[in-house]
Amino acid sequence: MYNSLKENISKLKEITSDSADFTVRNLVLNNNEESAIITTEGMSDKESLAISVVNPLLNTKLPKKTGKELFDYINNSVLSNSEIILINTFDEVMKFSMSGFAVFALDKYDKMLAIGVQGFKFRSVSEPESELVQRGSREGFNEAMRINMTLVRRRMKNPSLVFETFTVGTESKTEIALCYIKDKATASSVEEVRSRIRECDIKVVLGAGYLVPYLEDSGKNEIFTGVGITERPDSLCGKLIEGRIGIIVDGTPSVLVLPHLFVENFHSIDDYSNRPYFAAITRILKFIAYLTAVFFPGLYIAFVIFHPDYFPEVLMKNINNSISHTPLPLMLEVLLIDFLYEIMREAGLRLPKVLGHAVSIVGALVIGDCAIQAGIIGAPTLMAVAISVICSYVIPDLYPQITVLRLSFILIGGIMGVWGIVMLSCIVLIYMSSKSTLGVIFITPISPFSKFNMRDVFVRLGWKKLSKHTMNVQNLKGGSVYEK
């Protein structure tokens, strides 16, 4: 930067193309020295700016000094804000001013001060809609990164909890916070995540999902992901205790957690608030629902076309009667119904809530009654797909994967029958067994199998037994996952 205040302001206006929200408040101090306060409109709290910056500068009797001496005196004896950062470049000026800081510039000196007076508007803390619980906290993350960090710190008053901030996105300059517990997460895993963040060359980061391909071991967009997402502070704190690493992205209420295991998609906070036997029943139902959602339509097609003798005689007659009155082959009929269900789901998701009920009513009439009465689709086929779709809603975190796998099994079941489904199942299992994140196998502890580690997978033991050992998922790479 320059020693001249006018040249510095002129350069900043040139960088911002004199944008309407770039504001400069020129001040003449009582020792006749010129200065300026640089802010971005709407990002700073005007009351805090006036009380902690403008009023002290104008009302304090300043010594007859210039340049560095006056700058240091103002920094040490005039400004009363608790967050003051010395900056040396124009890039830093733009970064801090666009983050809600007020930048103080003085004539005849080539450095500036960034003063924390952030006051931009954000959504209040509320219950997340995607992770509802019956028992537990009603607080969820919002779009302000600093507020999210506070929600985590309030639950984890542990000096070992560390937050590290980074800037990603060459164009968006999005701020993110890496959080972990120092004595739980391994140093090698933390350093690996740091290096992946630094090597991220994406231009714009508008959501947490933008970073997922850069954090996975393979770096590719695969069906399953080893990076989890949560909107609950209590859920994140539970993961941090297990040695996970969280990434809070400014501007989005979703926090990334890695490594993420397959079995965790079937767990919820309610499991740890309810009695162990009820949590076990709930988890087993979720696993059954997942298998039903993925395999049921494909198996239905395979058995009807290639192995009809496995059906009871009365049921097979009803199915044959239904198929004979529909114009499409069975596989195309199932694909059509699945396609219509996905259209209805997408319409209900994107439309305003007021119109969402109309979509469900029209869909029920068109698919549930009129299509069957008109002989376009058969009732058994509709029921098979409907059961699969309803089961997929039980595990919302896996809905995209279930949709892709269901479609794949429908196609392979219609072409190759049961043996095709078995072959594709083996391929999927091999893929899941080979996938890892930060060296942790995706389907751990099912494979590699560990009896001791299975005590919080399909069933959950009581807290008196679980609390004797603290799970540390980072140790999965070396053997035991529990520490005394």
Q: Are residues 279 and 427 in the same domain?
A: yes
State how far the Cα of 68 lies from the Cα of 123, in Å rounded to an integer: 41
- Shared-domain flag, residues 279 and 428: yes
Cβ atoms of residues 23 and 13 within 8 Å? no
* C-alpha–C-alpha distance, residues 249 and 169, integer Å: 11
Give domain status of residue 140, yes or no.
Answer: no
Note the pLDDT tens digit of each residue in 354-390.
Answer: 666 666 666 666 666 777 777 788 888 888 998 999 9
Task: Decide which of 116, 136, 154 is a domain's last residue.
Answer: 116
113 Cα distance to chain centroid: 34
Report mean pLDDT in 10-residue bins for the chain, 484 residues. 91 89 90 91 87 89 88 89 89 89 92 89 80 80 90 90 91 91 90 92 89 82 86 90 92 91 88 83 92 94 88 83 84 88 80 67 67 79 90 90 94 92 94 87 82 77 68 54 38
* 467 inside domain: no
Whether residues 287 and 311 fall in one domain? yes
Q: Are residues 246 and 289 in the same domain?
A: no
Residues 384 and 247 both lie in one domain:
no
Domain identity same for 256 and 305: no
In a domain, 355, yes or no: yes
**Residues 198 and 229 grouped into a single domain:** yes
Q: Is 263 exposed, middle or buried (0-12, 13-18, 19+ CB in 10 A)?
A: middle
Confidence (pTM):
0.82
Give the residue among 228, 218, 306 at the shortest CA–CA distance from 264: 228
Residue 446 forms part of a structural domain: no
Note whether 298 and 411 are same-domain residues: yes
State the pLDDT at residue 134. 77
CB 93 within 8 Å of CB 112: yes
230 and 328 share a domain?
Answer: no
Q: What is the DSSP letter of 125?
A: P
What's the pLDDT at 321?
Answer: 83
In this structure, what DSSP letter does residue 456 have? B
Q: Report whether 258 contacts 227 (CB < 8 A).
A: yes
Q: What is the pLDDT of residue 274?
A: 81
CB-CB contact of 138 with 131 (8 Å): no
**Rounded-to-integer distance, Cα 298 and Cα 289, Å:** 15
**Domain shared by 413 and 362, yes or no:** yes
Beta carbons of 458 and 280 less than 8 angstroms apart: yes
What is the three-state SS of 227-249? CEEECCHHHHHHHHHCCCEEEEE
Residues 154 and 287 in one domain: no
Q: Note whether residue 426 is domain-resident.
A: yes
Domain count, the chain: 3
- Whether 358 is in a domain gets the answer yes
Please give the Cα distance from 183 to 160 (Å, whole number): 7
With respect to residue 457, please indicate whether it lies within any of the assigned structural domains.
no
Bridge partners for 116 per DSSP: 101
The total of other beta-carbon atoms located within 10 Å of residue 120's CB is: 12
Same domain? For 48 and 175 the reply is no
Nearest to 443 by CA among 318, 287, 337: 287
Give the SS3 label for residue 193: helix
For residue 155, give its domain range: 145-260
Beta strand residue intervals within 385-484, DSSP E: 436-437, 440-441, 470-471, 482-483
Residue 231 near residue 253, CB atoms below 8 Å: yes
On whether residue 268 sits in a domain, the answer given is no
Nearest alpha-carbon partner for 93 in 187, 5, 204: 5
